[in-house]
Structure 1
Amino acid sequence: MHHMSADMKACIDNCLGCYSECLSMAMNHCLELGGEHTKPAHFKLMMACAEICRTSAHFMLIGSEHHKHVCRECAEICARCADDCERIGDMQSCVEACRRCAESCSRMAA
């Protein structure tokens, strides 16, 4: 297997953590609360965030040189998702997971 930096390992963990957090929060917390939490723009953003996080982790795990492009996109979507979850409120664990992921993906994209 290719050598993996500590930064990349941390980024994979952050991506998988954010994937899990966004997906479970959307499917449980948001669906149960409804209202702002299930408006299409917000809900789609959470689904997009979960999927790009999973994809970023996958690209790094397989050692694809394209991970930088995917990580750049991931950082952008995570930052947007964090802001939207913060705006709606009562989603702090998601906000934190998204910010953590955005930060480590930005480093990977550099």
Structure 2
Amino acid sequence: MPTNPDMQACIDVCLRCYQTCLSMASTHCLETGGKHVEPEHFRLMMACAESCRSSAHLMLIGTALHKHQCSACAEVCAACAASCEEVGDMDACVQACRACEASCRKMAA
């Protein structure tokens, strides 16, 4: 199914957030330690990465169910951005999560 430009933009933003969260968790957070690897924060980063990947996947396969996943993804991204902001020194993740949250909210509408 060919995607419209808005959907393609959301797929791109989701994949960027997936990559950013997974990469920051497995390098920056693990190497920094402390608050960066507290279970709640680390699990949230893993959940965010997976939620973003799933949203992109559902849009790519062309199911209308992507709206439900995108709605959930926006919530997870908002929580992850807040957690990353609180932990600190995670600006790339905060920015990726906020962008994905906004794009997924639009796609879910």
TM-score bin (small chain)? over 0.9
Matches within 5 A, 1:59-98: 59-98=58-97
Separation (CA, whole Å) in 1 of partners of 2:94 and 2:2: 31
Separation (CA, whole Å) in 1 of partners of 2:8 and 2:88: 30
- TM-score under structure 1 length normalisation: 0.98
Runs ≥4 in structure 1, deviation > 2 angstroms? none
The answer to whether 1:55 aligns with 2:60 is no
Gaps of 5+ in 1: none
The answer to whether 1:45 aligns with 2:44 is yes
Q: 1:29 maps to which residue?
A: 28
Q: Cα RMSD over matched residues? A: 0.5
Gaps of 5+ in 2: none
Q: For residues 9-58 of structure 1, what are the alpha-carbon distances to aligned partners after superposition, in whole Å with 9 as ceiling and x for unaligned?
A: 00000000000000000000000011000000000000000000000000
Residue identity matched to 1:50: A
Give the total of aligned pairs.
109
Separation (CA, whole Å) in 1 of partners of 2:64 and 2:79: 25
